[in-house]
A and B are shown apart, each in its own frame.
Chain A
């Protein structure tokens, strides 16, 4: 009964066009009323969902990206990439997959990756004649790759939630091949779609022009080096690096390129808070919604359903994937890891699945949830920086979903993809 109120209200509000954040909020309020939980808890959960330190990467990277775009730094960067890869069709799409994967690898956060890459690369892809929806699709799906390539704070959460001491070192090693596999599949799809849509082939401008472009772009290229180097050498955390990116961009935009004035600066700031508010209001409201789902024990009951219903290992793994994908459409990644790991891990261990292997399945599966509506924070960031409605992005995202699902199936049913590397180091 309570669950019907919760989901029914959400679907109704979403369908008639109430903004996603307010749909979630109104549905949560209805559910809290039925569940006899004081109404102010809805708003406490919302505030708690918004004030999370790691989420600061969203406004900061969007701000940095916007500043780079407005001050012309980003354009110089793309001239280099274009000069280097211009000859292949959809080359910029592949650059985005590679850059996102690398960035996500270092930052460990899909949403940071989507914020940083989306706000710089999407406008540039558009300028080069790529459709916005294509640019958004490439950016958001490749942001997921960073969840698999170490370091990844979600793997650390998984290790703690497992309660059986899954080694974080093993998890990190296990993610590398699946990460590369997923990136390769996405690059393939990005290329296929680009060819099909007939995106223009670039041309190599010659070595001299390429070097010229590279030299002019050096201060911009340094941004990437400072961010990644700073994280890897322990000067700052991944979250802090996003603020450093803003400060660095302000400095070179103002003093080196001299293209960043007060007006542009304020515009970038207000622009960034608008996009941030769009996404964080949804994350906050989804936190309240998840609270109601948790009280109703929806995740637990779904998990119990499979364990009692079947005993065929292949079907169990498939069902687990379906359930995680389903839950992932409504709930965020880290709370799901915390809730589902202790329930599902004993089940899969009984059918002989290695905990490290299962962890990797979970990372990719819940990562896919971040790019699926109705609650997909990474998709929302992408659509917001790409300035297109979420539906327009989703309408053409299917080939990319296909690549992710294919990767998920390979990773699920071929344990060696995950386990070969950690086993080799034992």
Chain B
């Protein structure tokens, strides 16, 4: 993985001291609230319902065991012993004090980490595929480009006060595990007819109040032009994005207002100025690639007793089938660490669990860990022969629930319990769903399905792109839940359609039960829930939920 140069280290060290002084000036009354707010947000610090919340960047979701141990140390020392992984592969601490944040940032800098631009109206952490570098369908590993974008976007002097936040996701091949089509910019590594590798560039995707799938602004961008093209998009947005209404300030609104063709024209005009100046030399791309060299795979890893173990231990087999993914190298496997245990908040992890995962990464997966868009962790390079021992160790830490990609592998925002924006609670509904479906006999029959839940219209739980989406709404002081069906954040991205009127808080799991029973009834062959909804439309499901009982 990427290792800081002296220059990179100096930047984060100086940034810590800069923020320390900003905090000091704020506490001394020298810095107005509004100005400090912008500065603290660009260092990851929100003021939330219960306490400040600090969001730490995990660039493109990749961390070393040493870094994860430091995150555990921070959870233990400055928080209440846990952290929360987010859909943009960062980690949040919910209980630090404002005064301690400069010290936390200094602890992060010691292990080449930071919280720079994890919030605020600036370019946020670039995200990517958690299976980057290890999946067979990849055209090229996207992470070197993510690192190049990270450096370009870090403390960019021109783009720190954009109309609104700005998120970029990169995928390395035809599969999309980064929800790239609902990002401000989605970059897809593609191969053109001449066999050259470059980027398809999407712009103007997003969720929130106005969910939109991104539009292709450039079907093939040469690698060397990556930064000049991003720079041109950002400048067009900075100058033309709306600043009069924060709900209409994202780039998706600008792209929709201009039309993508007009937007492309503006970008191309701007691009002509900086194309030479920002051209990426081949040597710089190679330098970045040099940090992401393949793991030292062993040919004899194919000789293992995995099949014996699968044949003799049914629980292990269940975990293996749900929580591991094929690796491009024979004899290896990608193991997903489920952060969706029974009746625990999605994405939460304790300091002890973090230390344990770090230890397992050292023991079994080259000392590296990835965080995913679905709020899980990944050990990407595990020998098949080590999976059984890994599973046992994860199970001992309550990290081996065999539910990856299943109904209970929900994406859930923290909701009203923690977040000052939320309208409704989410954690209690997630518990209700867990309780309802933990024992139902048809659960294994449902197969792969995504259930995403947000506690308000800002859609941090990505409900629009869940196969089933749940949106918490406030009606006269009561929590109600609106359901959408048919969303997807994958390569076939789509926005879910509203099922009908919202259901009461205590009726959410029952409603899901009706939906899933209907699915099993009407599906054809091996059809997934999403495929069925796309074929039948919403009518059978509306009837199942809203028709009066006979």
Do A and B form a real pair? Answer: no
**Contact residues of A with B, CB < 8 Å?**
none
Name B residues whose Cβ lies closer than 8 Å to a Cβ of A.
none
